[in-house]
A and B are shown apart, each in its own frame.
Chain A
Amino acid sequence: MPTPTPASPLRALRLAPGARLAAAVAVCLVSAVLCVWLAASPPWLGITFDAGPGGAVPRVAAVAGPAAQAGVRRGETLVALQTAAARTPLDSLDLLEEPDFLDTWPAMDAFFARQTRLTAQLGAPAVGLALRDAGGAERVVTVAPGRRPVSTLPLVFWAQLVFGATGCVIGVWVWTLRPADPGARVYAVTGACFLVFAHAASIYSARELALPGGLFRALSGVNHLGADLFGAALCALFLSFPRPAVGARGRALVFAAAFLWWLLDVTRVAPDQNWASRYLVMTEMLAALALALWQSWRARRAGDPAARAMLRWSGWSVALGCGAFIGLTQAVSAAGRIPPLPQGYAFGFFVLMYAGLALAVARTRVFDLDLWALRLLGWGLGIATFTALALYLVGAGQAPALQVIGLALLVALAWAPMRRLVWSRLTRRGTLPPEELVERVLPVAFAASDAERGARWQALLGALFDPLHVAALPDGAAPTEAALADDGLALVVPAVASSPALRLGHPWGGRRLFAGRHLALVRTLVRLLHAADERRRAYEVAFERGLQQGVQRGTLGERTRIARDLHDAVSSPLLAGLAPPAAAPATPAGAAGPGPDEIRRAVQQMRTIVSGTAADPAPLADAVADARYDAVRRLRAAGLVVEWPLADLGPAGETALGPEARQAFAAFCQEAVTNILRHAAARHVTCVVRTADDAFRVEIADDGVGFDPDATPAGQGLPNLHARAATLGGRVRIARGAGDRGTVVHLDVPLAAREAAA
């Protein structure tokens, strides 16, 4: 067979990446063709067997080709093969997919010897099949075995070819991405080993009934060699990935040990199958997992989040892939039982492992891999779930094809939206809609001082990426554009918004890496800031010029400016005075400095000045509506019954009230309600507002405990009521309610008098 392999393994290293990948694909194809040729070469009857009733004798599950022409029927059991020279009775063990399931050397030898004898009999021009039907009647049918058409090779055969090729190609693909990385090189070796053991096994698992014993044994040996070296390669992988722990010599030692062990296996020095291969493979897998854990511990100690992220991927992939395979095949055989899943399909678990491992290795180089990696894994998991379900149904329930197709549709339909949800959730982080971009950038650009601009910019970056450390870069090292550094561990940001260039390290508390889209976001922000900065500078220049020329500025801009100044310079210290330390006693009456109420009033007045709409006069009807809403809401929330008819106030309702009068009216009603809630113990409150063209009157009555207006001490809000009324230019009268129950508060404000006072 002309195989285009290079003369020396070293030459392969000098191939261009594309050529190397193409070579790997070619090797896989050649290997697959060889497998097909070997699998199709033994003489063929055309019968698909399964384990018969009780699992003792092979049963005819499907018939085609020569056997069908000879009249073999489905459901009959094959008792023996017979020719003129000999008769060989059959049992189900002859159908064994994998000779490794036999425990001892004599059992294996017997198995191979039977295979040789069966092959020899099938090689005759005509062979007699001793068949027994369900009723127990026996007959002999003579069949002339022919050449096997490739299309009749079973699904499990093709599955193994595809699995092996996939693992090998992925391994080589990663190697082409990171040619200098010893981890990637060892990883490619695992792929090659996977190819070897999967393809070797595919040939004998595809046999109809028998293969020549010598070929069978050789294939089994090749399978063992692949598996043993595969385990060794996994151990070597975690000895050099993500942080190299041993040199090339150490890795070679691991391979040499596995190879020596394999020699003990093929020369049958080992006492039995357990020692020959099973224990070795299991030990290798466990060692690989332990090494992965050890690497994780090392990365944590070294504070290397990138390595830890990669290990999370690879560790889980290996645990999932190898664990499932070992659990379902090797461990089950070591326990002396037949595995539940054909080994050929179980090889699929390794493919899952390859998907995960490939991403982990490649991620150290290609940052955006973290997202599509998950996408791929999600896809893989979906396929795996579906395959498992379908196999279960076909295997256990004998489900017809239609049901399986229906299930496939169901899974596909349910899986797609779920994956999209996960996907959108993953990608939402780090992206902002344009409106929010503006909201985020403008406060930075329009901060009052250079220092504050810088501080806000740094705070914005902190809020977006939560880096563990932020360092200013010296001018010499400052980049002109944002860039990723240290394989995504850091992001450098150019000088902008009066802030020096920055280096953000270990984003999201060190749990994740910077990716391309984060870089794009920062670049957009920087550009927006530059644009906003320019606008601000132009505005400031124009403002200066405008001041010099005595031009009146736009009122809106002016107001905003004053508002900010007020907030920063006046209000905050004032308000801070409102909340003295809890331990300090309240300011005694008459002490120096304004009391809380004075401060509050001052702040309210300032607010009135700066906020546009509130400063304009507004109709009395609005003030009444505000007061009613507030009072009814508060009283009802406290469980009281409120009666406050919404009366049309007529033309007097249009009377314009200035901000101070409105404030006073609102405060009056609030105080009255507060008094009722605090002191009256009332259940029912009635309020009536009446207007005439020269006055408006408010009457608030409750059915509470009432009080003696002359005997009640001050300090229960009554002086406040009087003060508010005075501000309004009106009068308060407080009296007992009807029938000497409760309290009635009357407010009387002459509108004509207010007009005169204005």
Chain B
Amino acid sequence: MTVARARSLPMPFAADRPAAALPDADPVVPPPPQAVAEVRAALVVDDDPGMLGEAIDALAVFPDAEVRCAGSLAEAERLVRRRHFDLALVDLGLPDGSGITLIRRLASPAPGIGDGPTLCVARTMFEDDAHLFPALAAGAQGYVLKGDAPERLREQLLAAARGEPPISPAVARRVLGFFRAHPSHVVPAGVAAGPLSPREAEVLRLVARGHTVAEAAEVLGVSENTVKAHVKRTYAKLDVRTRVGAAREARRLGILREDDHGT
């Protein structure tokens, strides 16, 4: 293991200097119990029977939920055409394609169709940007890694049902890094995915330093929902950027033509 010291200045314990403490949420008042969305129908999409089993066990956190399973994208799409699901746990690497398309469809269904959006939690082997960003951009409410402890999975499912945005300091750092590394020139004129607004960037920076969403809201003097909205908008920009980026890349490779619209 390589460990490097970036700087080495003699310094007393940081906590000994009270001025350095950052504003924090008032710790005395206990937070109100958070409402958990009712989950009556849940969908698990995974081609691995072992993973399916683990997911079904974890979905026991929703005692009222009726659980359906699909082993492929096609099977899942057949199921979601027939009925509404409150929550879906979707493997991203399915034998017949990426679960991203399914998440995108479930998380923001076409207006007027069905019973509104489905809470989606992405589940994958990989935690690199190439898997994480498209999932967040598609509207995933949670992101769990295969091989995480079962209680971790249960927690993520509950967090998604509580409406917690799918963000963590690590994710915030990576999203900030993405926007830093991809200035807005990738985005064609007229597409609403400009750079991050100062407020969006500030939310990401606060979370990156370890603030929870509630604490970030307090620091900024706004409501928790406003912070969630900032996160959502950030991911929407991410969506346009990753999608436009993918299409650009495909055009560059000569796979997609300028006039391709699939109609």
Which A residues are within 8 Å of any B CB, using their own CB? 421, 425, 428, 431-444, 452, 455-456, 459-460, 462-463, 466, 517, 520-521, 524-525, 528, 531-532, 535, 560, 563, 566-567, 571-572, 575-579, 581-582, 599-600, 603-604, 607, 610-614, 617, 619, 621-622, 624-630, 632-634, 636-637, 639-658, 660-661, 674, 683, 688-693, 697, 751, 754-755, 757-758
Contact = CB atoms under 8 A, between A and B. Distances in A.
Interface stretch (B145-153, B196-204, B225-233): B145-153
Given A425-B112, A438-B256, A439-B101, A693 B8 contact: yes
Interface residues of B, number: 94
Interface of B: 1-16, 20-22, 24, 27-31, 33-34, 48-51, 53-54, 57, 72-74, 77-78, 81, 93, 95-98, 100-101, 110-113, 125-130, 145-149, 151, 155, 158-159, 162, 164, 168-170, 173-174, 207-212, 214-215, 243-244, 246-247, 250, 253-256, 260-263
Given A577-B50, A654-B6, A751-B5, A437 B211 contact: no
B262 A459 contact: no
15 contacts: A421-B112, A425-B113, A438-B250, A442-B250, A460-B97, A579-B57, A600-B149, A607-B126, A641-B27, A652-B11, A658-B3, A674-B151, A688-B15, A691-B14, A755-B3
A758 B21 contact: no
Nearest to B167: A629
Given A535-B254, A626-B168, 8 more contacts: A434-B256, A437-B256, A581-B53, A636-B212, A655-B3, A690-B16, A758-B2, A758-B3
B168 A629 contact: yes
Contacts of A560: 130
A637 B262 contact: no
A630 B24 CA distance: 16
Nearest to A508: B81
Contact of A603 (B146, B247, B261): B146
A576 B9 contact: no
B22 A646 contact: yes
A646 B212 contact: no
A226 B51 CA distance: 71
Given A607-B125, A643-B27, A656-B4, A459 B254 contact: no
B129 A613 contact: yes
Contacts of A425: 110, 112-113
Given A528-B256, A617-B3, A629-B168, A436 B262 contact: yes
Contact of B127 (A434, A607, A651): A607
Nearest to B20: A648
Given A463-B74, A651-B9, A646 B262 contact: no
> Is chain B's interface secondary structure helix, strand, loop, or mixed overall?
loop
Contact of A611 (B6, B16, B112, B127): B127
A109 to B, nearest CB: 60
Contacts of B21: 645-647
Contacts of A636: 31, 212, 214
A754 B51 CA distance: 38
Contact of B96 (A455, A646, A674): A455
A606 to B, nearest CB: 9
Contacts of B170: 622, 626
B260 A524 contact: yes
Nearest to A658: B1
Contacts of B50: 575-579
B169 A626 contact: yes
Nearest to B214: A636
B155 A634 contact: yes
Nearest to B239: A435
A463 B211 contact: no
A651 B7 CA distance: 6
Contacts, number: 274
Given A567-B125, A693-B10, A625 B169 contact: yes
B38 to A, nearest CB: 17
Q: Which 8 A-B pairs have the closest CB atoms?
A: A459-B96, A625-B210, A576-B50, A432-B262, A603-B147, A654-B6, A611-B128, A628-B210
B100 A532 contact: no
A462 to B, nearest CB: 4
Contact of A632 (B20, B96, B208, B212): B212
Contact of B210 (A444, A603, A624): A624
Contact of A572 (B5, B48, B101): B48
A452 to B, nearest CB: 7
Of the candidates B81, B126, B147, B211, the one having the most CB atoms from chain A within 10 angstroms of its own CB is B147
Given A437-B262, A524-B262, A535-B254, A567 B93 contact: yes
Contacts of B159: 633, 637
A439 B246 contact: yes
A532 B254 CA distance: 8
A214 to B, nearest CB: 60
A576 B2 contact: no
A428 B261 CA distance: 12
B208 A654 contact: no
Contacts of A661: 1, 3
A531 B3 contact: no
Contacts of A528: 255-256, 260
Contacts of A690: 13-16
Given A438-B247, A629-B169, A690-B13, A433 B261 contact: yes
Contacts of A532: 255
Contact of A579 (B14, B34, B51): B51
B219 to A, nearest CB: 10
Contacts of B3: 617, 655-658, 661, 754-755, 757-758
A269 to B, nearest CB: 59
A614 B128 contact: yes
Contacts of A641: 27-30
A629 B54 CA distance: 26
Given A437-B260, A535-B255, A629-B169, A460 B96 contact: yes
A435 B212 contact: no
Nearest to A756: B3
A463 B96 contact: yes
Contacts of A613: 128-129, 174
A261 to B, nearest CB: 50
A442 B250 CA distance: 9
A416 B12 CA distance: 72
Nearest to B132: A611
B48 A758 contact: no
A463 B14 contact: no
Given A517-B263, A575-B147, A611-B126, A619 B20 contact: no
Contact of A459 (B14, B57, B72): B72
Given A517-B263, A535-B255, A575-B146, A651 B6 contact: yes
Contacts of A643: 24, 27
A443 B98 contact: yes
A459 B74 contact: yes
Contacts of B10: 693
Contacts of B27: 641-643
Contacts of A652: 11, 14
B2 A617 contact: yes
Given A435-B243, A579-B54, A647 B14 contact: yes
Contacts of A639: 30-31, 33
A644 B21 CA distance: 10
Contact of A456 (B57, B96, B212, B255): B96
A644 B168 CA distance: 17
Contacts of A444: 97
Contacts of A437: 256, 260, 262
A619 B208 CA distance: 12
